[in-house]
Chain A
Amino acid sequence: MKILAKLTAVETKLLVREPGAAFTLLIPLFILVVFGGEITEGDTVLLPMAVTIAIGLVGLYLLPTTLATYRERGILRRLSVTPVRPGNLLTVQLLLQLVLTAAAVALLLFVGIGVLGAHAPGPAGFLAASALGTAAMFSVGLLIAALASNGRSANGFGVLLYFPLAYLGGLMQPADRMPDILASIGRYTPMGALRQSLHGVWSGGVLAPLPLVTMAVYAVVLSFVAARYFRWE
């Protein structure tokens, strides 16, 4: 317990010192504020978009880059010759990245609703959609971390995946202005499914099952594959 507390304290400090962490907080906020001028109380697009970007940035960039770098630098290996199992470090990192995601989302809600005046979503639907979306995006990140040979290539995979996924998910251009075929593919991407679900939550209707199932399938299948292929060194 003492060890986990110390590990968490040190990893938290490292995360705070990591510029990438600040970016994942600030980029979605920046997007929200820049486009937030035209936000109305009835808006159902902007906050879902910003929240999806925030979760995507942590899941696709920060998480895989951090984990692959830890492996590349031999930090997991070094831990495996101490009384502490390196799995503890992965667990602590995963939890911290979840906390960071929650903080980024909370910041967006605070600014979007409190300052810019958008309306608040139904809490149950919002939590369900965000939790599934985070699970799906993190599993993509874990898969990248498992397959990338080092931190830089994990980062490269992240970039390579982020932009097409963001585009397909309707984050760069509204889905109804995208070619039909791309828009339909987009519905089955993790980001597209999350944006759609959040859009549904803000619109106040019943949550459509398809995007939720899509995200759940990503989460289960990809984390399984990631766990299967993860290498400690």
Chain B
Amino acid sequence: MAVIEVQEISKRYGDQTALRRVSFSVEEGEVFGILGPNGAGKTTAVECVEGLRRPDSGAVRVLGSDPLRQGSKLREHIGVQLQNTQLPENIKVWEALDLYASFYARPRDWRELLERWGLADKRGARFAKLSGGQKQRLFIALALVGNPKVAFLDELTTGLDPQARQTTWDLVKRVRAEGVTVILVSHFMDEVEELCDRAAVLDKGAVVALDTPQGLIEGTDAEYRMSFRLVNGSAAEPSRPLESLDGVTSVSRTGDLVVVAGRGDFAALVTAHLARERVLVRDLRVDKRTLDDAFIALTGRSSDA
């Protein structure tokens, strides 16, 4: 069952197009990523789904409701962590959870959330005294305290150290295991690769690809690299230059180190070729194709640009 259906939404600000006929749908229990460089329209798209913004055209249904017209019914069942929002400096962790729990008809027990999100010993701490990771965990806990069917998490690990990111990822996996559908907005490829079942890649306001992370990687046929060192004595040049093999785009050699770049199955062709020619190599390495490469191929930009 589709929990979220977005059909051809467009949004303009003045002469700037923020969204161009964006469509996607999210199934129940999925972690769905919305991926794209800064300014690609990710947040605008999600805000249209949350009912914070009105698209100029197109339709949005969330849990069968229109977020703008049936917002009050819908807000009971969604949990949101917004980018760039804070709490009052002097509010204590338990007070924030207790307050937000009171907003919903069937909230979760916030004491249990406090335990689960590792905030139990920060229960009485003021918001201003929390670390970045603790604040982020509190925001996620606040997004979940209403017992939502759908949770929206926007750039949830931005500004966190690697340790805190890993912890946050583990927690998102637990949210998913509880059956909550998660919309994850991110510009981190590794995050999307790690957490999402499917992701839509946005660029300049339009969806340029929508697939599983693996599908995105394979579908874009991005260039990747392999390298090896020639073993002393077998430095004899192969009879046929590597450049002529299918998929190879460039070969560079520095001393005994050879780096070959290419697309598709070129790495297998190269290794087979070397074996046939009896060229002995060591330190053979084929780079794993990542979502980063796919992203650059799709948008012509690096994700952290």
Contact count band on A: 20 to 34
Q: Count the A-B residue pairs with Cβ separation under 8 angstroms: how many?
A: 59
Known contacts A75-B85, A78-B82; A84/B90 CB under 8 A: no
The number of chain B residues with a CB under 8 A from chain A is 25
State the main secondary structure of chain A at its contact with B: helix
Q: Which residues of A contact B85 (CB under 8 A)?
A: 73-75, 77-78
Docked complex: B160-193 residues within 8 A CB-CB of A: none
Q: Is B216 an interface residue when CB atoms closer than 8 A count as contact?
A: no
State the main secondary structure of chain B at its contact with A: loop
Q: Which residues of B contact A99 (CB under 8 A)?
A: none
Q: Which residues of B contact A78 (CB under 8 A)?
A: 80, 82, 85
Q: Which residues of A contact B103 (CB under 8 A)?
A: 3, 82-84
8 Å CB contact of A73 from B72, B76, B78, B88: B88
Known contacts A81-B75, A81-B82; A3/B102 CB under 8 A: yes
- Of the candidates A3, A6, A70, the one having the most CB atoms from chain B within 10 angstroms of its own CB is A6
Q: Is B117 an interface residue when CB atoms closer than 8 A count as contact?
A: no
In the complex, the answer to whether A10 meets B95 with C-beta atoms within 8 Å is yes
Q: Name B152's closest neighbour in chain A (CB-CB).
A: A81
The CA of A102 and the CA of B102, in the complex, are separated in Å by 29
Q: How near does chain A come to B126, taking the closest CB pair, in angstroms? A: 8
Q: How near does chain B come to A155, taking the closest CB pair, in angstroms? A: 14
The CA of A31 and the CA of B265, in the complex, are separated in Å by 83
15 new A-B contacts at CB < 8 Å, known A3-B102, A73-B87, A83-B76: A6-B99, A6-B102, A10-B91, A13-B90, A18-B90, A70-B88, A73-B85, A75-B87, A78-B85, A81-B51, A81-B78, A82-B75, A82-B146, A83-B75, A84-B103
Residues in B lying within 8 Å of A, measured CB to CB = 50-52, 72, 75-76, 78, 80, 82, 84-88, 90-91, 95, 98-100, 102-105, 146
Q: Could you list 9 A-B pairs, sorted by A, with CB under 8 Å?
A: A2-B102, A6-B98, A6-B102, A10-B95, A13-B90, A73-B85, A73-B87, A81-B80, A84-B103
